[in-house]
C-alpha cells in the first residue's frame, strides 16, 4: 500500500474535502472494503489529521503506523472523521526502531477511555474487527466520512510473511470484496465484544505484497511490543 502513496492520496484528495492535508505526509493508507457503518462508538478510535487512523492506549498516547508520518492532531472517540469526539494536539512522536510502530503524544490528556492492549496474539480463526475511514472499493476508491467496520478471520502469522510480517505480527484474512485498503494505516485490529475490546494489531499493509487492497492485511502485532510501549508511556 505504500508503493502507490501519491496515487492513493490524490484519489482521496478528490474524494473527500479537506483530505489534501494528508498529501503533506508520507505513508500508505489501508481502509475498509466490504464493511458496514460502525455499530458502536469506539472511545479509543482516532482519526489523525494526516489521513491515517490510530488507537488511544493511554490518556495522552496514540498507537499508529510509522509510515503515516507526522500528524498535528487527532480526533478521538467519534464515528465521524471530521466531527464529534475530542480533538487533541500532537506534540511529539516516538518510533520503535526497525518497526512500523509509532506512538504519538497528546499535549493534554483526553477524557476518552483507552483500549486495553493484548498480551498475546489471537489464535488463528479468531474473529478480528477492523476499523477505518478508508476506501470502500478498489481500484475505484470511495471514502466515507462515517467510521466503517468489518469482522474477518485471523490467519496464521506465516500467511503474511510475504508482505513483510514476522511471527509476532497479526495476519487478517481478506479478498476482493472484504479487505483493508487505502485510508486507515495505523488503525486498529481488535478482538472482543461490544464495549469490551482489546487492541491486537496496528494496520501496516497488504499481507501478500501482490497488491494494495483486496488481499489479506498485515497488522503490526501489539503484544510483541507491549513492554516497549509501556516503557514509553509510563
pLDDT tops 70 at residue 3: no
pLDDT at 25: 33
Please list the alpha-helical segments (H only) found in the chain: 5-15, 226-233
pLDDT at 212: 78
Q: Residues 202, 45: contact at Cβ < 8 Å?
A: no
Mean pLDDT, all residues of the chain: 87
What are the sequence ranges of the domains in the chain?
Answer: 15-26+43-112+225-233
pLDDT at 180: 86
From CA 101, how far away is CA 178, in angstroms rounded? 25
The pLDDT tens digits for 112-142 are 999 999 999 999 999 999 999 998 888 888 8
Could you please state the CATH topology (level 3) that the domain comprising 15-26+43-112+225-233 is classified under.
Thrombin, subunit H (2.40.10)
pLDDT at 4: 28
* Grid coordinates belonging to 79: 464515528
pLDDT at 23: 29
pLDDT at 196: 97
Helices (H) and strands (E) in the chain, counts: 2, 15
Q: Give the residue with greater pLDDT, 13 vs 182.
A: 182
pLDDT at 96: 97
Q: What is the band of 93 on the pLDDT scale with cuts at 50, 70, 90?
A: very high
pLDDT at 31: 56
Q: What are phi and psi of 38, to 5 degrees?
A: -55, 135
pLDDT at 20: 26
Q: Residues 22, 138: contact at Cβ < 8 Å?
A: no
Q: Give the residue with greater pLDDT, 210 vs 18.
A: 210
pLDDT tops 80 at residue 46: yes
pLDDT tops 50 at residue 10: no
The pLDDT tens digits for 143-157 are 899 999 999 999 999
- Three-state secondary structure string covering 165-187: CCCCCEEECCECCEEECCCCCCC
Q: What is the band of 9 on the pLDDT scale with cuts at 50, 70, 90?
A: very low
The pLDDT tens digits for 161-198 are 999 999 999 999 998 889 888 887 899 999 999 999 99
pTM: predicted TM-score of the whole model, two decimal places? 0.87
pLDDT tops 60 at residue 95: yes
Amino acid at each position: 500500500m505504500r508503493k502507490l502513496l501519491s496515487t492513493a492520496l490524490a484519489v482521496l484528495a478528490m474524494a473527500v474535502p479537506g483530505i489534501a492535508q494528508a498529501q503533506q505526509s508520507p505513508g500508505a493508507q489501508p481502509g475498509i472494503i466490504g464493511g458496514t457503518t460502525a455499530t458502536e462508538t469506539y472511545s479509543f478510535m482516532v482519526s489523525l489529521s494526516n489521513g491515517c487512523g490510530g488507537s488511544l492506549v493511554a490518556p495522552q498516547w496514540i498507537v499508529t503506523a510509522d509510515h503515516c508520518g507526522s500528524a498535528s492532531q487527532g480526533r478521538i472517540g467519534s464515528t465521524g472523521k471530521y466531527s464529534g469526539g475530542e480533538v487533541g494536539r500532537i506534540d511529539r512522536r516516538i518510533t520503535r526502531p526497525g518497526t512500523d510502530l509509532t506512538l504519538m503524544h497528546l499535549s493534554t490528556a483526553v477524557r476518552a477511555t483507552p483500549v486495553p492492549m493484548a498480551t498475546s496474539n489471537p489464535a488463528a480463526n479468531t474473529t478480528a474487527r477492523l476499523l477505518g475511514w478508508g476506501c470502500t472499493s478498489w481500484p475505484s476508491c470511495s471514502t466515507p466520512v462515517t467510521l466503517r467496520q468489518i469482522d474477518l478471520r485471523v490467519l496464521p502469522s506465516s500467511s503474511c510473511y510475504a508482505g513483510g510480517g514476522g511471527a509476532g505480527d497479526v495476519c487478517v484474512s481478506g479478498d476482493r470484496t472484504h479487505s483493508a485498503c487505502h485510508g486507515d494505516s495505523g488503525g486498529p485490529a481488535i478482538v472482543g465484544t461490544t464495549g469490551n475490546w482489546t487492541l491486537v494489531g496496528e494496520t501496516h499493509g497488504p499481507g501478500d505484497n501482490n497488491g494494495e487492497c483486496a488481499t489479506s492485511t498485515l497488522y503490526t502485532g501489539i503484544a510483541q511490543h507491549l513492554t516497549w510501549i509501556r516503557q514509553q508511556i509510563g
